[in-house]
Structure 1
């Protein structure tokens, strides 16, 4: 793999650590700005909504720019948002920083995956996407715990400053090691706009939104389930989350290897495994050993479907920045819906197992949505068509 792929993974690690870390320092932020935990939770929602709404618009504005300057500009915009948060002296300023970072991350994600596809070619796009997305997986395994540790010992601003330093290092690596790339071809861009209207692309988006919705309907409320239903003590929860995070990294590596040649098969089997895991956990959450196994399987069969999702989108809608940015927007809509709907289940008094059943229902719908597009995939590249396996 070209060195640029690993640099893009570092960038994603820094950005998604920033996205996740607010959840790990909620009490500190609430105390620092004299707001409620719900207000701090709104920072997470604002970030997600910025990804959904702002990222595609910024990507549209930058559609004719070269990849490398675009990546650097987006990193600098993200750095501006991160520094605004690090120096925030009001809740409004911190909220503004989350919006800036969310918009920049969404657009960066789209351009990064487009550049990765250019670097490796259509036959290895899932593997390249897996390496780039490993930054996201490692952010949950290492970035989030590290940010929480810094918050506890040196204050929440330290974590913001550390991410800013990581972004600067990533920007320097892009300047030195990432190739400039060609200016986007006008004819190819017009073809990309036609691909965005393809029903098969929106079927792929629907599947992705349902997959991530299923995962986060369950994952968002996993901690109280582990302590109140499974009977784990509070000290065991971080260890179980570490198991979950390690499983996401392992699963992402495996799907990255398989998804290029078996895209639909990986999605089919992965969704069935996710469905079975959620049902088993809902039925057996009172038994610790089975619960621990299910936590591992949830990490292994949930988020690691991302490379196959990216490969499917590339095959039916192209690998351009707009297709990828819209994909990220849909994924975040799924995440937001899953977490919100799980909370509705709890507020309705349905119990802590209810989000698991909701996640299972979304996984089943995701598996059924794969049947909306039964055509073979093809890759349109510089005027030629290269057939790729289903």
Structure 2
């Protein structure tokens, strides 16, 4: 029996980097009242601090990567440089004297964050053999899963005991540590050794790549159409006691980690089945959640089931993209932008149906509908794959 491949330690460094970036993205949700008081703004304006971070990720990341490719900067040097920019922006946010300064700092953090996540995935893919990419990516993306479970609660605890600026400065410390480790631990690569921008741009002509992007956007859109409004749904519609929400969210996060682990183990060999069954499970969990009524145990069961799929399908989503095209920095950053765009559109759609008067559970039906479209989007790739196997 052949010995199981051992992932290099650098993979875990990349996971910690993504953990730090995603924690910073969502930590605002746990300290909204404090930030509203500090800057004398509304809760909705504080929410824009998350939206502008996401906007920076979706729109700013690809141009930055293309500029670095034009300058023929190596992936390692690009990651270290962008992490330095992130540290400076995070320090500006932690010391922000006014709301507009905080808004600008968060937007800069989003731009550098998107590019860093794309580079982390690209560097990870280059570090391991092709048949180990799915497992390595699942480890890197575990940082994304851990951020809501451990990072965001930690930041909320710091804010409650030492003020919101303490949380901001901890992000600076974490990002600085990631920068130092990336500079010293990531293998040295000569500048210009990565494919040129024209070569990476040419890979974007593949229909299979855009099909993979579409499915990824639909998966994340479906998930966040529902998850963005899980608190009012569970408390006001299902009858959950507010004090039980935090432990339930922790269970949801654990379900995410478990799902990510399982999908990561099968993503390389069974990419399309993992996506297909995962999307089917997403449709069932969201539909069941929407129909659960006032039976609290049923609501909780379908909510945990939601945690096992959705975001947990990330390793299969990334594996499909990497099979459709060489996992260059441009390919990965566009994937990150599509995922971020799906998150924004899904959250907006869920809120729109509530505003239209369709009730608190309406976002669950929106999510189920988007997931069903995602399942349909797999039909043609699945048929093509089956035909290819028959021909062989």
Specify if TM > 0.5.
Answer: yes
Within-5 A mapping of 1:248-263: 248-263=256-271
Task: Give 1:34 shift.
Answer: 0.6
Worse overlay, 170-179 or 321-330: 170-179
The answer as to 2:30 corresponding to 1:24 is yes
Conservation of the 8 A alpha-carbon contact between 1:192 and 1:317: no
Aligned match of 1:79: 87
Worse overlay, 59-68 or 274-283: 59-68
Offset from partner CA, 1:241-280 (integer Å, 9 cap, x none): 0011111111111111110110001000000001100011
Aligned match of 2:155: 147
The answer as to 2:59 corresponding to 1:41 is no
Q: TM-score, with normalisation over the residues of structure 1? A: 0.94
The answer as to 2:140 corresponding to 1:132 is yes
| Structure 1 residues 95 and 164: alpha-carbon distance in aligned structure 2, compared to 1, 3 A threshold | same
Aligned match of 2:364: 356
Aligned match of 1:51: 57
Task: Give 1:187 shift.
Answer: 5.7
Task: Give 1:200 shift.
Answer: 1.2
Task: Give 1:230 shift.
Answer: 1.2
Conservation of the 8 A alpha-carbon contact between 2:289 and 2:364: yes
Q: TM-score, with normalisation over the residues of structure 2? A: 0.94
- SS of aligned partner of 1:319: coil
Count of equivalent residues:
378
Q: 2:21 is matched with which residue: 15, 20, 23?
A: 15
| Structure 1 residues 186 and 133: alpha-carbon distance in aligned structure 2, compared to 1, 3 A threshold | closer
Task: Give 1:173 shift.
Answer: 1.6
Conservation of the 8 A alpha-carbon contact between 1:47 and 1:102: yes
Aligned match of 1:293: 301
Task: Give 1:205 shift.
Answer: 0.7
Offset from partner CA, 1:190-216 (integer Å, 9 cap, x none): 443221111111111111111000000
Conservation of the 8 A alpha-carbon contact between 2:94 and 2:165: yes
CA distance in 2: counterparts of 1:207 and 1:281, whole angstroms: 22
Superposed CA RMSD in Å reads 1.5
The answer as to 2:173 corresponding to 1:165 is yes
- Structure 1 residue runs of 5 or longer lacking an equivalent are 378-386
CA distance in 2: counterparts of 1:113 and 1:188, whole angstroms: 18
Offset from partner CA, 1:138-174 (integer Å, 9 cap, x none): 1010001111111111111010101111111112222
Within-5 A mapping of 1:45-124: 45-63=51-69, 64-124=72-132
Within-5 A mapping of 1:176-255: 176-185=184-193, 190-255=198-263
Aligned match of 1:338: 346
- Structure 2 residue runs of 5 or longer lacking an equivalent are 1-6
Worse overlay, 34-43 or 187-196: 187-196
Worse overlay, 11-20 or 181-190: 181-190
